Structures are given as C-alpha cells and as structure tokens.
Amino acid sequence: MKHLWAPWRMNYILKRKKKECIFCLKPSRERDRENLILYRGKHTFVMMNRYPYNNGHLMIVPHRHCIDLESLNHLESKELFELLKVSIRALKISLSPQGFNIGVNIGKVGGAGEGHIHFHIVPRWTGDTNFMPILGETKIVPEYLSNTYQRLHSAFIDHLKKRTRQKGGGKK
C-alpha cells in the first residue's frame, strides 16, 4: 500500500471555524500574499483558493457582502465579469490549462457558507481527474500555493498593465 502525505490539509480539518466572513475579513487585513489575494479591483477582488481542487483554483469576490447575483449593482457585475476574463487569461499564460470549470456559489447550501457570493474558476488538464480521487479519495495538487501565487500574480500585473496601455490610460 502506498501512502500519500498532504499535511497542509490538517490545518483546514482541525482549524477552529470562525463565524466571520473570510471574504470580508481577508481583504481588510492588507496582507495580500499571505491571504492569497492576487488582485484588488474597485468593486471586486481575485484570490486563490487555499484548499484548491486544482492548481490555480481562483475565486472572484465582490468587496461588498452580497448574498446573490441580484444584489450586485451594475459596477460590481461589470468588474466581476471583467476579472473573470482577466483571470482566465492569467491562468492560460501561467499554467496552460486545457479547459476550465467556472461556477458561482450562492447561498449556504450552494457553497457560499459565509453568505457571500463568489465565483470559482478551476483550471483543468487532461487526466487531472484520475483514479486517485475516485478510488483513493485523494486529490494531488502538484505545486505549492506560494509558487502558483507568484506565477499568477505576475501574469495579472503584466496583463492589467498591458490593458491599461491599450485603453490609453498610460502607466499605473
């Protein structure tokens, strides 16, 4: 029998669950690298999932605590979908996925445990779902979060600078 070690999961399993909304709390701390926040927009932000389904698993979240799509105003909706496109581009540049799963967590039973709507982007590769999660009930994430963060953060910065120049906004 082979053993696969994933000791970082124990932190999540044993961690005392807080009542606070992580999507409200994490951005308020101003510790983006530690909290895996890749980009802050005016109305929304992009962060990595600390317990990803695959490398590069991102979440796009409105800054304002919203429970559903109908609660988002026009500017929040517009920026959220713009960051969805930017995130996909950054993932393509950094990790070369062959596809994506994109979903929205709405409501507690829909996965938005804190009652804060958020979008998920999960990069996919041929063979990323194999016998391990099915038979072994084990998911392998092949890169440290800090390494993936650095690659994605650089791609976000480069892509957004390029877009700003194209729109005639100059340098930021």
How many other CB atoms are found less than 10 A from the CB of residue 82?
15
d(CA 119, CA 107) in angstroms, rounded, equals 12
In whole angstroms, give the CA distance from residue 24 to residue 65.
Answer: 7
Say which residues have a Cβ less than 8 Å from residue 145's Cβ, sequence separation at least 6.
36, 48, 50, 52
| Annotation marks residue 118 as catalytic | yes
Contact of 80 with 118, CB cutoff 8 Å: no
Which candidate in 118, 120, 153, 159 is catalytic?
Answer: 118
- φ/ψ of 73, rounded to 5, equals -85, 175
Catalytic residues: 118
